[in-house]
Chain A
Amino acid sequence: MRCPQPSAGALISLSLLLLLLSTCSALYEDQIKKRSVHVGALKHAHVDLKHFQPRVLLTTQEQVVASLCPKTGQIIWRQVLEQRARGDIKMLQVSGFADGSSDTAAAPMGSHLGFDMLTVQGHAPALVRGWNTNIGTIEWEWSIMPLHTERAQDAVWFYSNSILYHVVPAWRSHIEVTAYFSTSGHTTGSTSKIMAAWIKPESCLLSGSYFVCLDGKQLISLDLVAKSTQVIATSLAAEPSSKIETLPGLNGVLIVNKKLVSVNKDQAVCGELTSASYVVGSFNYRKVVAYADLVDGMLKINAVYLDNCSPVPELQMSVAFAEDYGTPSLRSFDCKLKRNDDGKGCLFLFATSAESIMAVQQGRIRWAREESLANIIDTQFIDLPLADTEGTLENEMKGKAGEFIPRNGDIVTAFMRRITAQALQMKSMFLHLIGLGPPPTDTQRAGLVRDSFGLHKMLVLLTRAGKIFGMDNIAGKHHWKLYLPNVAGFENAEQMRLIVQRSSKHFPLQPLCAIVAKFVNNSNGVLFRFNPITGRAAEGGLLQLDYQIKQFSLLPETEVDFVKGILILDAANQVHVEPKHATPLADGMYLYTADVKTAELEGYIVKYAGGELSCLPIWNVRLGGHNSEQQIISVAGKNPIEHVHSQGRVLGDRSVLYKYINPNLVAFVTQAPDAAHKSVLTLYLIDVVSGSVIFSMTHRKVRAPLNIVHSENWLAYSYFNDKVRRTEITTIELYEGNAQANNSVWSSLQAPFMPLVERQSYIIPTIVEAMRETITERGITNKHVLIGTASGGIVEMPWHLLDPRRPISSSTQGREEGAIPYIPELPLPTENYINYNQTVARLRNIYTAPSGLESTCLVVATGLDLFVTRVAPSKTFDLLKEDFDYILISIVLVVLTSGSLIVRHLSSRKLLKQAWK
């Protein structure tokens, strides 16, 4: 299996395809699905160009083992391994690389060692796996279960001479070293205990076979494979300012204060080098140390021979480096094997702080993979700007920017304006045709123009690394990238937020997005405003706040520039509005915060008086339970852009059951350990304006993982039932009853009586990873629940299957209502998987957004992979079917019209003839 590259066969098939293109039509538009496959941020890497099949072997933070093509960066194979601590990749060892025996990297790669590549994962049990690197299969596996599980968490492994050493430090006491034959897992002898009271968890690491600890201004180290356990102390010139690092490939060599230090007296290093990142490799059959630094936007790569520290001129290069990749660090390099090498065959592999993986060869960036996309934390769909001609039309229709013309004002002037606008449009079209029109803007040239159905949008993706992407949701192209260093998510596992402050509807004004995050250095709040179409900073870009953000909320649009202000509650319960001119709109806003650990909720009201904002606490709710063991595990509000079209449900006797649509209702789920029932899950529905608990329900012997969907008047949540060991989904619907208490306004402060609650539980024969409801422009279309399964599929589940009003006995009432009789198991037919075989590895979240078409909802599923598609829950009722026969219809129309004309002519002639008889 080679890297994918055009071959003769491919060319033949391409020409065949071109031939066929004339006969077959393209993919139907609503079947467009895009998937991009990622591996995650780099952890271990090994470039191997000397192999008959050149490849880049790597493991990642996402616990993936993969092989990339060094020419293109495409994935040759990828294996997604176990999640969490169990799958944590501790070591990657490629056969014949960087071990004591064959440490000239030019040593032949071979299977005489019994493996191509081995990995060590997890600590209890620790899994050792041997891989076939050509096709990415596991060839053998063995595991060990350590005696002390908690101690084994800090265990480290190293490989030397076909032996795999398991090093378990018992901090401040001793080190246990066990040696195993790497391929079989048999121990070579008993575990040796080395007394070392000087080891501390924060300052120790393993470099090759040396266990090294930093103690003030000296390094204390121990060779674990040596016969005598002699402690070596190496003094440093100065106390290191950052953490010490190990240099893989050289036994006992460390990077301290950007310099190389060796604790191994057999290993000389070039101690005078200073660089941010080093890597060891071979060039012209000699060992070299390559190092790379970012200087004034240029990436400078240098190398020295290890034996005499003389520079290697062939490997010197400097590369223009884009800012949005972050800080690069050199992780691996390798050169093609040939005599008198000019260095052109050398490939340098970098990992960057923006979680990109990039390869540099021959003085340029050969390829770069955006692996931060494996950790998307928020997305938004942004409407594209109007085409120029439509823009002028819209502008004319609206009048000058800011100038407000009443819709039903003067009909004659409006009509005149329309005519002139269309004339202008015609003129611009004519100018465009003869090539005299204005040059298209950047976005237009990139094809970023709104389509008539609003299906083509800009997908803005915010990643955990702080990198933001602007992506075309149809072509999948990255139009722009931005990198925000030094920002992070908040406490309590709350991620950064991406919000839309101004949509594309206000034509001459550009749309505006903002990122709300925490500054790494002082944990104060940070706002970053940018234009989501061009990807450029707007409104001053990065704004550092001088307070911590506790919560925030979006305000209604201002009338001046249509920006939705951000109302921020700080740590001292003071409120701030950004931008400042939106401050009056914050009057009467309600805010709430939830403390996950104590399960306490606080409600506030914001008042604006005399130019000052104040925030008054108005209610608090304690969900902690009698012994304060309950912790909030999930909070689910409704989507603020949701429209509910149908206000009630028609019953069998044709009366109406009105929905309890409380826009201020938020669901809180708490979990607590319980002596009798293992764990207890409680759901609370709380009106966060008034603080009243509308409904609560307890599940016993049930635990997380919990996924929850809250929309309209219903709620669906999945959990794991410990008693019967399966995943279940409970659904709840709230109804007001046969009459509406107030049919014009909803006020939580004069809320109607308690709602009627319908509830039902279903068994779902899969593990649920994510759930989301579909959303459309006006809410007329049925709602489906998109369920992401652990196998990477996304199932579209119609609400009528999850309906809590499904009748248990098949009563006529239920049948007339259109409800299906209750069956506990939910069906998962394969045709309901919207991604077919394009599974999304490690599916983490599903996001939905309305399109311009009422029937269609845009979906993006994120995880390790990214999957973008659209769904039509009630079928595309507002579109002609894709197989609509235009030709037949027009032929029939033409034939009928012409036929009737001809027949009329004939009949009149006949009448005339008869009259003459």
Chain B
Amino acid sequence: MSAKQNSKKSKWALDFSVSKNADMPSPPGYNPTALVNQTEVVRDQRLVIKKSWDLALGPLKQIPMNLFIMYMSGNSISIFPIMMVGMMLIRPIKAMFTTQVTSKMADGAQGTGQRIIYILGNLANVALALYKCHSMGLLPTHASDWLAFVEPQTRLEYYGGGVSFI
């Protein structure tokens, strides 16, 4: 009756009033007796490692794309190349600081290697961005960039005089 009532109420409504014991039927297809398969765990582990290698190699894979973007954007200083260079510089740095998060997945045996590769890849991206900055002339690498800070020489001797008055 109650079930009838319930079905009348709603198709999906659960009746909490009936079941007092926790002995609930298992969902169909669930075998509680089945144990965790060791081989599957190993395969998962391998998948995780594969996935995290993908992650670690990600920055390195970006390099050819970045090179292409760099080539396309040219060396002129205007808003879009500057934005691109900025993104290229900031993204890997950000990624490096979030290494802890990404490496959670790579706690396995090859975790350190992946981390190193990941950081190296990011550093390579940073270097690329810096090279781009350099070729755009944004880095103060020339003597002329520091010219404004060169102090005038203090003079040691003072003179006076001119055309003779007599």
A: which residues have CB within 8 A of B? Answer: 490-492, 494, 518, 548-554, 556, 567, 569, 571, 588-596, 632, 635, 637, 643-648, 650-651, 654-656, 661, 663-664, 688-689, 740, 742-749
Residue of A nearest to B150 (CB): A647
Residue of A nearest to B157 (CB): A689
* Contact (Cβ within 8 A) B144 A655: yes
Residue of A nearest to B143 (CB): A656
Which residues on A sit within 8 Å (CB–CB) of B158?
A: 556, 588-590
Please pick, from B144, B145, B154, B164, the residue contacting A745 in the complex, using a CB distance under 8 A.
Answer: B154
Residue of A nearest to B154 (CB): A745
* Contact (Cβ within 8 A) A743 B150: yes
Report the number of A-B residue pairs with Cβ-Cβ less than 8 Å.
127
* Contact (Cβ within 8 A) A650 B144: yes
Residue of B nearest to A517 (CB): B165
Instruction: Flag whether B162 is at the interface (Cβ < 8 A).
Output: yes
Distance to closest chain B CB from A260 (angstroms): 41
Which residues on A sit within 8 Å (CB–CB) of B137?
A: 654
Residue of A nearest to B148 (CB): A646
Q: Given that A491-B166, A548-B166, A744-B151 are contacting pairs, would A589 and B159 also be in contact in the complex, using a CB cutoff of 8 Å?
A: yes
Which residues on A sit within 8 Å (CB–CB) of B165?
A: 490-492, 494, 518, 548-551
Distance to closest chain A CB from B164 (angstroms): 4
Instruction: Flag whether B29 is at the interface (Cβ < 8 A).
Output: no
Kindly state the separation between the CA atoms of A747 and B161 in the bound complex, as whole angstroms: 18
Distance to closest chain B CB from A464 (angstroms): 16
Q: Given that A549-B165, A654-B137 are contacting pairs, would A591 and B150 also be in contact in the complex, using a CB cutoff of 8 Å?
A: no
Residue of B nearest to A605 (CB): B157
Most A-side CB within 10 Å, residue of B142, B148, B153:
B153
Kindly state the separation between the CA atoms of A553 and B161 in the bound complex, as whole angstroms: 6
Which residues on A sit within 8 Å (CB–CB) of B143?
A: 655-656
Most B-side CB within 10 Å, residue of A554, A569, A663:
A663
* Contact (Cβ within 8 A) B163 A593: yes
* Contact (Cβ within 8 A) A635 B162: yes
* Contact (Cβ within 8 A) A664 B164: no
Residue of B nearest to A779 (CB): B152
Kindly state the separation between the CA atoms of A639 and B161 in the bound complex, as whole angstroms: 13
* Contact (Cβ within 8 A) A590 B153: no
Kindly state the separation between the CA atoms of A744 and B143 in the bound complex, as whole angstroms: 16
B 70-114 binary contact with A (CB < 8 Å = 1; else 0): 000000000000000000000000000000000000000000000
The 10 A-B pairs of least Cβ separation, nearest first, read: A553-B160, A490-B165, A592-B161, A746-B153, A650-B144, A590-B159, A654-B142, A647-B150, A747-B156, A593-B164
Kindly state the separation between the CA atoms of A633 and B58 in the bound complex, as whole angstroms: 77
B 120-159 binary contact with A (CB < 8 Å = 1; else 0): 0000000000000000010000111101101111111111
Please pick, from A590, A635, A646, the residue contacting B163 in the complex, using a CB distance under 8 A.
Answer: A635
* Contact (Cβ within 8 A) B147 A647: yes
Kindly state the separation between the CA atoms of A589 and B158 in the bound complex, as whole angstroms: 6
Distance to closest chain A CB from B69 (angstroms): 25
Distance to closest chain B CB from A613 (angstroms): 14
Distance to closest chain A CB from B147 (angstroms): 5
Distance to closest chain A CB from B52 (angstroms): 42
* Contact (Cβ within 8 A) B153 A661: yes
Which residues on A sit within 8 Å (CB–CB) of B142?
A: 654-656
* Contact (Cβ within 8 A) A745 B147: no
Q: Given that A490-B165, A491-B166, A594-B163 are contacting pairs, would A749 and B157 also be in contact in the complex, using a CB cutoff of 8 Å?
A: yes
Residue of A nearest to B158 (CB): A589
Q: Given that A654-B137, A744-B154 are contacting pairs, would A595 and B164 also be in contact in the complex, using a CB cutoff of 8 Å?
A: yes
Kindly state the separation between the CA atoms of A180 and B147 in the bound complex, as whole angstroms: 74
Which residues on B sit within 8 Å (CB–CB) of A635?
A: 162-163
Distance to closest chain A CB from B64 (angstroms): 30
* Contact (Cβ within 8 A) B157 A588: yes
Which residues on A sit within 8 Å (CB–CB) of B145?
A: 654
* Contact (Cβ within 8 A) B157 A590: yes
Which residues on A sit within 8 Å (CB–CB) of B152?
A: 643-645, 647, 661
Distance to closest chain B CB from A584 (angstroms): 14
Kindly state the separation between the CA atoms of A554 and B162 in the bound complex, as whole angstroms: 12
Kindly state the separation between the CA atoms of A192 and B146 in the bound complex, as whole angstroms: 83
Kindly state the separation between the CA atoms of A216 and B161 in the bound complex, as whole angstroms: 46
17 CB contacts below 8 A, A to B, read A548-B165, A550-B166, A551-B164, A551-B165, A588-B158, A590-B157, A592-B161, A593-B163, A594-B162, A647-B153, A654-B137, A654-B144, A654-B145, A664-B159, A746-B156, A748-B157, A749-B156
B 3-35 binary contact with A (CB < 8 Å = 1; else 0): 000000000000000000000000000000000
Please pick, from A567, A571, A594, A747, the residue contacting B160 in the complex, using a CB distance under 8 A.
Answer: A567
Which residues on A sit within 8 Å (CB–CB) of B154?
A: 744-746
- Given contacts A654-B145, A656-B147, A744-B151, list 10 more A-B pairs with CB under 8 A: A492-B165, A494-B165, A550-B166, A551-B162, A553-B159, A589-B159, A591-B161, A595-B164, A654-B137, A744-B153
Distance to closest chain A CB from B8 (angstroms): 30
Which residues on A sit within 8 Å (CB–CB) of B144?
A: 648, 650-651, 654-656
* Contact (Cβ within 8 A) B159 A689: yes
* Contact (Cβ within 8 A) A747 B157: yes
* Contact (Cβ within 8 A) B164 A550: yes
Q: Given that A644-B152, A663-B155, A747-B157 are contacting pairs, would A596 and B147 also be in contact in the complex, using a CB cutoff of 8 Å?
A: no
Distance to closest chain A CB from B4 (angstroms): 36
* Contact (Cβ within 8 A) B163 A596: yes
Kindly state the separation between the CA atoms of A654 and B146 in the bound complex, as whole angstroms: 11
Residue of B nearest to A634 (CB): B163
Kindly state the separation between the CA atoms of A556 and B153 in the bound complex, as whole angstroms: 18
Most A-side CB within 10 Å, residue of B144, B154, B160:
B160
Kindly state the separation between the CA atoms of A294 and B163 in the bound complex, as whole angstroms: 39
Kindly state the separation between the CA atoms of A554 and B160 in the bound complex, as whole angstroms: 7
Which residues on A sit within 8 Å (CB–CB) of B148?
A: 646
Distance to closest chain A CB from B118 (angstroms): 36
Which residues on A sit within 8 Å (CB–CB) of B159?
A: 553, 589-592, 664, 688-689
* Contact (Cβ within 8 A) A648 B161: no
Residue of B nearest to A664 (CB): B159
* Contact (Cβ within 8 A) A648 B147: yes
Kindly state the separation between the CA atoms of A650 and B137 in the bound complex, as whole angstroms: 14
Kindly state the separation between the CA atoms of A692 and B160 in the bound complex, as whole angstroms: 16
Residue of A nearest to B137 (CB): A654
Distance to closest chain B CB from A453 (angstroms): 24
Which residues on B sit within 8 Å (CB–CB) of A594?
A: 161-164
Q: Given that A551-B165, A744-B151 are contacting pairs, would A590 and B160 also be in contact in the complex, using a CB cutoff of 8 Å?
A: yes
Which residues on B sit within 8 Å (CB–CB) of A742?
A: 153
Kindly state the separation between the CA atoms of A749 and B158 in the bound complex, as whole angstroms: 12
* Contact (Cβ within 8 A) B147 A492: no
Distance to closest chain A CB from B140 (angstroms): 10
Kindly state the separation between the CA atoms of A740 and B153 in the bound complex, as whole angstroms: 10
Distance to closest chain A CB from B70 (angstroms): 21
* Contact (Cβ within 8 A) A745 B163: no
* Contact (Cβ within 8 A) A571 B166: yes
* Contact (Cβ within 8 A) A650 B163: no
Distance to closest chain A CB from B58 (angstroms): 36
Kindly state the separation between the CA atoms of A648 and B143 in the bound complex, as whole angstroms: 10
Residue of B nearest to A489 (CB): B165
Which residues on B sit within 8 Å (CB–CB) of A689?
A: 157, 159
Distance to closest chain B CB from A45 (angstroms): 35
Residue of B nearest to A569 (CB): B161
Please pick, from A551, A556, A655, A749, the residue contacting B161 in the complex, using a CB distance under 8 A.
Answer: A551
Residue of A nearest to B161 (CB): A592
Which residues on B sit within 8 Å (CB–CB) of A740?
A: 150, 153
Residue of A nearest to B149 (CB): A647
Please pick, from B151, B156, B160, the residue contacting A591 in the complex, using a CB distance under 8 A.
Answer: B160
Distance to closest chain A CB from B134 (angstroms): 12
Which residues on A sit within 8 Å (CB–CB) of B164?
A: 491-492, 550-551, 593-596
Kindly state the separation between the CA atoms of A3 and B63 in the bound complex, as whole angstroms: 87
Which residues on B sit within 8 Å (CB–CB) of A491?
A: 164-166
Kindly state the separation between the CA atoms of A596 and B159 in the bound complex, as whole angstroms: 19
Distance to closest chain B CB from A689 (angstroms): 5
Kindly state the separation between the CA atoms of A553 and B144 in the bound complex, as whole angstroms: 37
Distance to closest chain A CB from B149 (angstroms): 10
Which residues on B sit within 8 Å (CB–CB) of A637?
A: 162
